[in-house]
Amino acid sequence: MAGKYSHPPLPPWGDALAGATGAVLANAIVQIKRKSTDAEPLTTNHEHYTSSLDAVKKIIEDEGITGLYSGINGSLLGVTSTNFAYFYWYSIIRSVYVSSQTFPKPPGTVMELSLGAAAAAVAQIFTIPVSVITTRQQTQPKGDKKGLLDTGKEVIHSEDGWPGLWRGLKASLVLVVNPAITYGAYQRLREMLFPGKISLRPWESFVLGAASKALATIVTQPLIVAKVGLQSRTPPARQGKPFKSFLEVMSYIIEQEGPLALFKGLAPQVTKGILVQGLLMMTKERMEILFIVLFAYIRKLRDTKLEQAVAAATRAKTNLAVLPK
């Protein structure tokens, strides 16, 4: 990202592509069905899970191993779009901020969090429909599984109509603090633990990514649970009445199970977050280096062809000048 490397930085789309690639690879390796991390009142089947391991066991018994990967295609599509959009806008916003300073320098902690939140907010507006559809897919009961497009039609044909694709947008905008904390903490920890280091080793990127994500997940878990509640099917106990806000979801959960239920699924969320974010940042760092080398090669190839064209034009001009009149 801008201001972070001594070599020419990647363009925004290159940084976004590196981040999206890392996210897809990380999530493909560590795919955990949403059902095993949800608060129980928000699921639409009547199976009760006493723990994450119990959820995994019952899902396998009911749906087989493939049940743990329900909705993976849509999930990876959502991961790709969300991370591409985030890293694209973060790269642009951070570069604009740094270049606007009289004496360009890396932003402080508060500003780093603000830049991350702004980028995440813009990304959410464009990508939340995919999140709504994949969340609905992953919480569908066994006998009512639908594909990505059919699930999208189901959302559109509900009482919310097209705006239903942006259900939970307010909660998602509040949740921009999650990636803001994650990437803000990553930058700060990087500067504290590895000051001046241009390229991190894979294990260093993994540790920084895992630590920053664990912190962000613990802080924002109640909001994550509320967002899932907004985007999932309405629980039977509400007799078809949809939730209108994430505060309403949180109140419902507290009323049904108590305040600690807002942190139900925290252990698997943190575990998944540590693995995914660690692998994401480790992969992203490698992809950035790969893209920088690739772009440098393309620039060199382009410059070489340009030099050859200029040389050919010069020779042609010289030959024309010496032709007899």
How far apart are alpha carbons 148 and 133 in whole angstroms? 7
What per-residue confidence (pLDDT) applies to 7?
A: 45
Residue with tokens 């709504």: 132
Report how far apart, in Å, the C-alpha atoms of 252 and of each of 42, 50, 96, 229, 235 are: 10, 19, 42, 10, 11
What per-residue confidence (pLDDT) applies to 38?
A: 44
How far apart are alpha carbons 69 and 138 in whole angstroms? 9
What per-residue confidence (pLDDT) applies to 76?
A: 76
What per-residue confidence (pLDDT) applies to 70?
A: 64
Report how far apart, in Å, the C-alpha atoms of 88 and of each of 1, 83, 96, 244 are: 10, 8, 13, 31
Q: Is 102 helix (H, G, I), strand (E, B) or coil?
A: coil
What per-residue confidence (pLDDT) applies to 9?
A: 63
Closest CA to 109 of 172, 224, 192, 10: 192
What per-residue confidence (pLDDT) applies to 2?
A: 41
Q: What percent of the chain has pLDDT over 90?
A: 1
Q: At what angle do helices 12-29 and 266-322 cross, to 10 degrees?
A: 140
How far apart are alpha carbons 130 and 110 in whole angstroms? 30
Closest CA to 78 of 147, 27, 144: 27
What per-residue confidence (pLDDT) applies to 219?
A: 86
Ranges of the chain with pLDDT below 50:
1-7, 33-41, 43-46
What per-residue confidence (pLDDT) applies to 100?
A: 83
What per-residue confidence (pLDDT) applies to 33?
A: 47
- pTM reported for the whole predicted model: 0.60
∠ CA 153-32-20, rounded to 5°: 75
How far apart are alpha carbons 4 and 7 in whole angstroms? 9
Closest CA to 38 of 70, 83, 80, 84: 70
Within 101-201, where are the H helices? 109-138, 148-156, 169-174, 177-193
What per-residue confidence (pLDDT) applies to 4?
A: 43
Return the structure tokens found at 276.
């995914």
